[in-house]
Chains A and B, each alone.
Chain A
Amino acid sequence: MTDKIDLSSLISAKPIVVVEFDAEGRVRDRFGGFLTSRFLADSSIFDQCDFMFGVADTMSVGEELRLEGVHYQDDHASYILDVKVRCHSLRQFTMLIEDQTDLYQIINQVGQQRNEADIYHHRLARQNEQLTLLKQAAESASRERTEFLAKVSHEIRTPLNALLGFARMLDDTGLNRKQQRHLDHIHTAGGALSGLLNDLLDLSKMESGKYHIEAAPIVLSEVIENAAMLCKSKADEKALNLEWHTDPNIPGRLLGDSLRISQVILNLLTNAIKFTDEGTVTLRADCGDLSPVSVAVHFSVVDTGRGIPHEQQSQIFERFSQTQLADSTELGGVGLGLAIVRQLVEAMGGEISVKSEPGNGAQFDVLLPLKRLAETEDDTAERQNLAQNAKVDQRAATANSLADYNILIAEDSALNQQYVREILSPLGANLYIVESGRAAIQGLMSEPVDLILMDVHMPEMNGDEAIKKIRSDLLFPLRDIPIIVFTGKASESEQAALLDLGANQTLAKPYSPKVLLDAIARHKEKSVVERLMIDRLESDDISQDMIAIFKSEVPTYLRDLLIALFNQQEKQFVFHAHKMQSAMWVMELMDFYELLARLENEPLEFSERLEICGELCQGVEKLLSPDTEGND
């Protein structure tokens, strides 16, 4: 009874009620806060305490327990209660009930928001996981598609190369008009197929991110002129005027990717010629905003063709847009070119736009920011010279004789062998044809070779492995012979890998005779130029001409000496050793002279000769190295 009084005084102003009940939950007495709380005095909670069912059975005398947040609903309202129960005896309990409805409603709102946020967070995380999986699957599919395209391209390009090559040769065999017309169809269809292959490969490379924009020194006037020259024959075929102009205010020393810029210009020019039936196609490169470090070059290709309908101008840079055009069937093409052009321009940080009035031609504008290299006083003159030289080189490349030029061709396809043979033999080149990388290496040690043309895929030893061995295992100068690699896939990463291995240049199949001859001419000239540029041997007593001749000739002498050694051709070996002695004596290189004298005069074993030749090769290499100081 004392407890009752104490509790009553404590709870008088609070929503608390104290109930006594027995183990079955029947209420024995009640008093307290229900008078001031929202509880009704006759609430059924005090008639039967369901929430105590089972609970009371587990309690021992004197034990207390707390039940929080018990929901209770009667006919009038619902409550959330905190209940504190004390066991007085097996059949007597005191229950302190506190109405916490308001508090729990606040907690509930916060909790609900937290739970909803939690569920949302988990759903978001799961969606992210699913998106990641989908992204990975899409990337994997894209990779597979790119690889598939590369493989198919290789398989198609190799025979296409032979087909187009032989078709070109047929041009010069005196065909009648009908045959010539059929041959023209082969050229056109083959060219279209080749173009489509290139476009598909470019697109797949862009999608897979396997292309990069280079920043190398370029001469823009050259890029413009070369692109225009490549399109001139197509313009001539349609009796169109093709004009091109480079603004002389454009700085001469720029950094850019000449290959990509050419690709953009060629694509726009080809399109312009395709959609123009009469009149002029004009290519311009004008100088835009100029700063000490950069210049905005404004390229424009303007034609007098049929123009582009207004409604199609906004979609013209989308993929396959050309298939939507009415005359696409007539003119061919699937509309990948301009999509590629836009991607390239944007990748170089530029913008492209088109304006056209149907029936009045079209104008494509490309604004390209290019970095400037430091200017020199001679830039303008140099620029003009370079442009002039480029023209001369181009003519020289086609007209150049390859007489006495020794070319090793490593190619297992009989068709491609014949194609190369028919291009190079009439120019007087000495050809040595092998069918594997291994045979190419053996050939280098048995034949005088000035240049190697190497296919990548060959039996026994692939081209890439052969290049690696040549560059790492052979002696100077054999290991420095220029190598041009034919590649069918032409993917940038593969080209880069081949160049890293030591190839000097890659040529994608199919290639035209002109492209091949230009490449050969470049390496033929380059080797001479490089030698002339070496100024290591300058001396007061020896004339510059003599030095130039020495630098030019001594690697060849050395090569011939090695070949004679490997072929065990005694007479030739002694002859070349003697010949080199004279050169060394004239140049006052007496150490080398002594070594050569031993080779000529002493009865040495093969291994001894090899050792001396090795010493000689290393010495000459060091002598010709631009890094070497002083004169031996």
Chain B
Amino acid sequence: MQKKILLVGDFGVGKSSLVERYVNDRFSEEYKSTIGVVIQKKSVEIDGEMLNLLIWDVAGSREIAEVPESYYLGCSGILYIFDLSRPETWAGLRQRLATVCGKSKIEQGSNRLMVIANKSDLCDENNLKHVLSEVEVQVDVVTSAKSSLNVDEAFMELSRRILAG
């Protein structure tokens, strides 16, 4: 079975790093901005069933409305990524998620749109609590592409939800 998922969020929040860590188990400190969309594949087994993920790593943009609507076509799930170390990447998150839902045709509040707080390696425990209390919506997973923290878990959880849904 094949499913398409999207990673969206502000530029520099670590979307490509998460995909690179998940697909190839690699991480680079070097920042390379993504233009357009990079599509990668990963096969996973969920409860004995094989799932081929087509992962669309969409170029980051301050205005989520700038992401072309055609990218969302046929997607089954979305990971919305923000950077724990940059407040501007989670400001107005509720509104941004509403835009994503509008474009992707995923219902608002659906569990197939997951919110990921990335770069936990740049945030101590106190800061993390503070940021999570400031974010307008419920964060599903806290990740670090650098340390691998919860990266597989985030993709697996989305896959499970897609299959369940």
A residues sitting closer than 8 Å to B (CB atoms) are: 50-51, 53-55, 57-58, 65-72, 80, 104, 107-108, 111-112, 115-116, 118-119, 122-123, 126
Query: Told that A54-B54, A108-B32, A115-B11 touch, could you supply 9 new A-B pairs with CB distance under 8 A?
Result: A50-B39, A53-B4, A54-B74, A54-B76, A66-B70, A69-B37, A69-B59, A115-B12, A115-B60
Cα–Cα, bound, A55→B31 (Å) = 30
Beta-carbon contact of B39 and A71 below 8 Å: yes
Chain A hits for B110, CB < 8 A: none
Tell whether, in the assembled complex, residue B37 and residue A71 are in contact, meaning their CB atoms are under 8 Å apart.
yes
Cβ-Cβ contact count across A and B, 8 Å cutoff: 72
A71 and B38: CB pair below 8 A? Answer: yes
Partner of A67, one of B11, B54, B59, B71: B71
Contacts of A104 in B (CB 8 A): 35-36
A55 touches B70 (CB 8 A): yes
Counting CB contacts under 8 A, is B92 at the interface? no
B16 CB, min distance to chain A CBs, angstroms: 10
Q: Contact check, A58 vs B73: say whether CB atoms are below 8 A apart.
A: yes
Q: Decide yes or no: A112 and B32 within 8 Å by CB, A50-B41, A69-B59, A126-B87 being known contacts.
A: yes
- The yes or no answer to B75 lying at the interface (CB within 8 A) is yes
Residue of chain B at shortest CB distance from A112: B33
Q: Say whether B12 contacts A53, CB under 8 Å.
A: no
Residue from the list B33, B54, B87 in contact with A115, Cβ < 8 A:
B33
Residues 29-52 of chain B, each 1 if its beta carbon lies under 8 Å from chain A, else 0:
001110111110100000000000
Can you name 11 A-B residue pairings with CB atoms under 8 Å?
A: A54-B54, A54-B73, A58-B73, A66-B68, A67-B37, A68-B36, A80-B35, A108-B32, A108-B35, A112-B31, A116-B12
Partner of B74, one of A57, A107, A123: A57
- Cα–Cα, bound, A485→B73 (Å): 84
Bound: A119/B74 CA distance, A: 32
- Distance (Å) between the CB of A8 and the closest chain B CB? 26
A58 to B68, CA, bound (A): 15
A108 to B35, CA, bound (A): 6
Residues of A near B70 (CB, < 8 A) are 55, 65-67
CB–CB B59/A118 < 8 A: no
Question: Are B59 and A122 within 8 A (Cβ)?
Answer: no
Min CB distance, A290 to chain B, in Å?
61
Q: Are B11 and A107 neighbours in the complex by a CB distance under 8 Å?
A: no
Q: Closest A residue to B86 by CB, please name it.
A: A122
**Cβ of B107: which chain A residues have Cβ within 8 Å of it?**
none
**Distance between B53 CB and nearest chain A CB, rounded to angstroms:** 11
Q: Which residues of A contact B87 (CB under 8 A)?
A: 126
Q: Verify A116–B31 contact, CB threshold 8 A.
A: yes
Report chain B residues within 8 Å CB of A57. Answer: 74
Give the complex CA separation of A565 and B12 in angstroms.
Answer: 88
CA distance A92 to B24 in the complex (A): 34
A50 x B54 contact (CB < 8 A): yes
- Whether A55 touches B74, Cβ cut-off 8 Å, given contacts A50-B54, A116-B31, A122-B88, is yes
Interchain nearest-CB distance for A26 vs B (Å): 14
Complexed CA–CA distance, A71 and B62 (Å)? 21
Measured CB to CB, the nearest residue on chain A to B58 is A69
Q: Which residues of B contact A115 (CB under 8 A)?
A: 11-12, 31, 33, 60
Closest 5 CB pairs of A and B: A69-B36, A54-B74, A112-B33, A71-B38, A54-B4
Which residue of B33, B36, B75 contacts A80 across the interface (Cβ within 8 Å)? Answer: B36
Q: Is B2 on the interface with A (CB-CB < 8 A)?
A: yes
Measured between beta carbons, the chain B residues less than 8 angstroms from A123 are 86
Q: Give every chain B residue within 8 A of A71 (Cβ-Cβ).
A: 36-39
Q: Which residues 72-99 in B have Cβ within 8 Å of A in the complex?
A: 73-76, 86-88
Write the chain A residue with the least CB distance to B83: A119
Q: Which residues of B contact A108 (CB under 8 A)?
A: 32-33, 35
Which secondary structure dominates where chain A touches chain B? Answer: helix
Chain B residues with CB under 8 Å of chain A are 2, 4, 11-12, 31-33, 35-39, 41, 54, 59-60, 62, 68, 70-71, 73-76, 86-88
Closest chain B residue to A67, Cβ basis: B70
Q: Nearest CB to that of A69 among chain B residues?
A: B36
Which chain B residues lie closer than 8 Å to A53 at the CB level? 2, 4, 54, 74
Q: Are B35 and A69 in contact (CB under 8 A)?
A: yes
B36 touching A119 by the CB < 8 A rule?
no
Question: Which of B41, B60, B62, B86 is the most central at the interface, judged by chain A CB atoms within 10 Å of its CB?
Answer: B86
A53 to B11, CA, bound (A): 25
Are B2 and A119 in contact, with the CB atoms below 8 A?
no
- Report the minimal beta-carbon distance from B118 to chain A, rounded to whole angstroms: 14
Most buried by A among B31, B32, B62, B73: B73
Q: Which residues of B contact A107 (CB under 8 A)?
A: 35
Bound-state CA distance A278–B134 (Å) is 72
B73 A65 Cβ-Cβ under 8 A: yes
Please state if B36 and A54 are interface contacts (CB–CB under 8 Å): no
- Complex CA–CA separation, A461 to B164 (angstroms): 80
Whole-angstrom CA separation of A112 from B35 in the bound complex: 9
Q: Are the C-beta atoms of A118 and B11 separated by less than 8 Å? A: yes
Interface-central residue, A57, A107, A111, by most chain B CB under 10 Å: A111
The distance in angstroms between the C-alpha atoms of A399 and B121, with both chains bound, is 80
Please name all residues of chain A whose beta carbon is closer than 8 Å to the beta carbon of B31 when the two chains form the complex.
112, 115-116
Kindly state the separation between the CA atoms of A518 and B86 in the bound complex, as whole angstroms.
Answer: 67
Most buried by B among A54, A57, A108, A116: A54
- On whether the beta carbons of B12 and A119 are closer than 8 Å, the reply is yes
Q: Do residues B37 and A70 form an inter-chain contact, with CB atoms below 8 A?
A: yes
Residue of A nearest to B32 (CB): A112
The complex places the Cα of A126 from the Cα of B122 at a distance, in Å, of 15
Task: Determine how close the nearest CB of chain B comes to the CB of A126; give it in whole angstroms.
Answer: 7
Separation in Å of the A110 CB from the closest CB of chain B?
Answer: 10
User: What residues on A are CB-neighbors of B76 within 8 Å?
Assistant: 54
**Which chain A residues border B75 with CB–CB below 8 Å?**
54
Q: Give CA–CA (A58, B73) in the complex, Å.
A: 7
Which residues of chain B are near A111, meaning CB under 8 Å?
Answer: 33, 35
- Chain A nearest CB from B66 CB (Å) reads 12
A596 smallest CB distance to B (angstroms): 81
Instruction: Select which of B36, B60, B73, B86 is within 8 A of A70 by beta carbon.
Output: B36
Task: Give the residues in chain B near A68, CB-CB below 8 Å.
Answer: 36, 68
Residues of A close to B4: CB separation below 8 A: 53-54
Q: A78 CB to closest chain B CB, in angstroms?
A: 9
A58: nearest residue on chain B (CB-CB)? B73
Let me know if B39 and A70 touch, CB within 8 A: yes
Question: Taking the nearest CB of chain A, how far is it from the CB of B85, in angstroms?
Answer: 9
B83 CB to nearest chain A CB (Å):
9
Q: How far is the CB of A54 from chain B (nearest CB, A)?
A: 2
- Cα-based distance from A113 to B99 in the complex (angstroms): 27
- Cα distance A107–B38 when bound, in Å? 16
A68, B36: Cα distance in complex, Å:
6
Say how far B55's CB is from chain A's closest CB, in angstroms.
Answer: 11
